[in-house]
């Protein structure tokens, strides 16, 4: 019960915050509407997650990956800009393995968030196929993948 209330509160808070960020000036009425809509959406999202049988799991490395994400995006933008100016000689296809204890769902999302990396396929739950413009793994890739499993 407490976990369910916490999940709804976090989802609702995130959705309300996003709505407030997207509105230039927020009146009390708009804030009330945003909070009410976010609460309804959070309840619906929780119900859908439970109906699908999805459970929270595998958060190992998630905090570090989220902290490194801004740096990975900036680095990826630089790599992408350099590739636009000259032909990328370092572009590679690389199959990796998600670290033990990390959920492939969020791992795939943070891997694809960098502009120089694209997750092409994840045929099994733990082995993403990446197309990168740099032979060296980026900071997020180093965090969420197993270094011994890069091929």
Each residue's pLDDT tens digit, 58-104:
777 788 888 888 888 898 888 888 888 877 677 888 888 888 888 88
Q: Is residue 100 part of a domain?
A: yes
Q: Alpha-carbon distance 10 to 42, whole Å?
A: 8
What's the confidence (pLDDT) of residue 43?
93
What's 118's DSSP letter? E
- Clarify whether residues 36 and 74 are in a common domain: no
Evaluate whether residue 127 is within a structural domain: yes
Are 145 and 116 within one domain? yes
8-29 pLDDT per residue, tens: 999 999 999 888 888 878 889 9
Question: pLDDT tier at 44 (50, 70, 90 boundaries)?
Answer: very high
DSSP 8-state class, residue 59? B
107: tokens are 């791992």
What is the largest distance, in Å, between two alpha-carbon atoms of the chain?
56
- Residues 66, 47, single domain; the answer is no
* Residue span of the structural domain in which 132 resides: 62-149
- Domain membership flag for residue 57: no
Model confidence at 37, in pLDDT bands (50, 70, 90)? very high
Q: Which of 4-8, 82-86, 130-134 has the lowest mean pLDDT?
A: 82-86
Residue 47, CB-side half-sphere exposure with 13 Å CA sphere: 6
- Token duo for residue 55: 């459970």
Q: Is the pLDDT of residue 150 over 80?
A: no
């Amino acid at each position: 019960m407490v976990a369910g209330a916490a999940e709804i509160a976090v989802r609702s808070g995130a959705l309300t915050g996003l709505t407030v960020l997207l509105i230039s000036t927020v009146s009390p009425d708009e804030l009330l509407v945003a909070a009410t809509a976010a609460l309804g959406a959070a309840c619906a999202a929780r119900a859908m997650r439970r109906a699908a049988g999805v459970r929270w799991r595998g958060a190992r490395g998630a905090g570090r990956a989220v902290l490194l994400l801004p740096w990975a995006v900036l680095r990826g933008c630089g790599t992408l800009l350099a590739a636009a100016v000259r032909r990328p000689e370092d572009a590679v296809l690389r199959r990796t393995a998600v670290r033990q204890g990390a959920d492939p769902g969020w791992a795939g999302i943070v891997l694809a968030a960098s502009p120089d990396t694209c997750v092409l396929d994840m045929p099994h739950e733990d082995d993403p196929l990446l197309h990168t413009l740099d032979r060296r793994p980026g900071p997020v890739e180093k965090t969420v993948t197993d270094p011994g499993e890069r091929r």
